[in-house]
Amino acid sequence: MTESTVGTPDPGLFEVMYSCRAMRRLDTRPVAEELLVKLIDAANQAASGGNRQRGRWIVVRDPARKKAIAELNHAVSADFVRARIEREEQLPHHDASTRSRMLDAVLYLAEHMHSYPALIVACLEFDERPDDIAAGGGSIWPGVQNLLLAARALGLGAVPTTYAINRREEFEAIIGLPETMAAYTLIPVGWPLGRFGPVTRRRTSEIMRFDHWA
Ligand SMILES: Cc1cc2nc3c(=O)[nH]c(=O)nc-3n(C[C@H](O)[C@H](O)[C@H](O)COP(=O)(O)O)c2cc1C
C-alpha cells in the first residue's frame, strides 16, 4: 500500500464484508479442491495470540463422515428450531418473517448438510489436553472470518455452525481428533442456491460510543 492509498477503502473488500450473509442453502455440485485449499490458505493468514498459529482445518468430503456429522447437526437443529418457534422472544431482534425465513433455512441446512460438497471443521491444537476448550477460542475466530470472507469473494456460500459441535465427544470421534485438538465450528461450503445481498445489522450509532459508554 502506498502512502496515497492509506485510508482509501477498497470497495471490493467492503462489498464482500457487507454482503457476507450466512448461506445455508447450497448446491450439491462439487467445489474444486484448489478452491477449498484457497479458503484454508486465507484462514491461515489471520491473526492468532502470540502468532502461535494453532489453527487446524479439516475439510470433510467423505460421504460417510458427512452423513454422521449431518445427523448430529440435525438432532440439535431440530431442538433449536422447536425452542425458537415456541419462544419467539429468543430472537427479538428479528421480525416475524425474518425469523421464519431463518428457521426455514436452518431446517433446510439440517435436511441437506450430508449432500453438501465440503464441511470444514475449524480446530485448535494444544500442547496438552485443554481444561477449558472455550478459553482458547479467540485464536480461531479471526481465521474463520477470513475463510467466510474468502468464500464470499469467490462466490461460494458458507455458514459457521456450532450445533453439531455441542455433541463434542461424538463429533470429535467422527473426524478422529486427538485429545490435544478441539473443534470450534463447522462450516458447510458450496455454491449458493440463494443470492448474496446486504446483511441486516444494528445501526453503528447503537453499538458504539467514543471514550466512555455511560
Ligand atoms: C459463533 C457462531 C455460531 C453459529 N452457529 C450456527 C449454527 O449452529 N447453525 C446455524 O445455522 N447458524 C449458525 N450461525 C450463523 C448465524 O446464525 C448467522 O451468522 C447470523 O444469523 C447472521 O446471519 P446473516 O449474516 O445472514 O445476517 C452461527 C454464527 C456464529 C458466529
Over residues 152-200, the pLDDT tens digits come to 999 999 999 999 999 999 999 999 999 999 999 999 999 999 899 999 9
Residue 1 has pLDDT above 50, yes or no: no
What's the CA dihedral at 94, 137, 183, 194 to 10 degrees?
A: 30
- Work out the number of other CB atoms within 10 angstroms of the CB of residue 56: 18
The response to whether residue 123 sits with its C-beta less than 6 Å from ligand 1 reads no
Q: What distance in angstroms lies between residue 50's CA and the mean position of ligand 1's atoms? A: 27
The response to whether residue 199 sits with its C-beta less than 6 Å from ligand 1 reads yes
Q: What distance in angstroms lies between residue 94's CA and the mean position of ligand 1's atoms? A: 14
What's the CA dihedral at 62, 141, 112, 193 to 10 degrees?
A: -110
Do 187 and 160 contact (CB within 8 A), yes or no? yes
Average pLDDT over residues 16-38: 97
Cα–Cα dist 39/34, whole Å: 9
Do 121 and 34 contact (CB within 8 A), yes or no? no
The response to whether residue 137 sits with its C-beta less than 6 Å from ligand 1 reads no
Cα–Cα dist 214/146, whole Å: 33
Residue 135 has pLDDT above 80, yes or no: no
Residue 84 has pLDDT above 60, yes or no: yes
Residue 88 has pLDDT above 80, yes or no: no
Residue 2 has pLDDT above 50, yes or no: no
Give 43-72 pLDDT, tens digit per residue. 999 999 999 999 999 999 999 999 999 999
Angle at 104 between CA 100 and CA 109, to 5 degrees: 150
As a whole number, the mean pLDDT across the chain is 91
Give 104-117 pLDDT, tens digit per residue. 999 999 999 999 99
User: Which bin fits 176, alpha (ψ -120 to 50), beta or left (φ > 0)?
Assistant: left
Question: For residue 129, what pLDDT band results from cuts at 50, 70 and 90?
Answer: confident
Q: What distance in angstroms lies between residue 126's CA and the mean position of ligand 1's atoms? A: 26
Residue 73 has pLDDT above 60, yes or no: yes
CATH number of 23-193: 3.40.109.10
Report the b/e string of 76-94 with b at 16+ CB within 10 A.
bbeebbeebeeeeeeeeeb
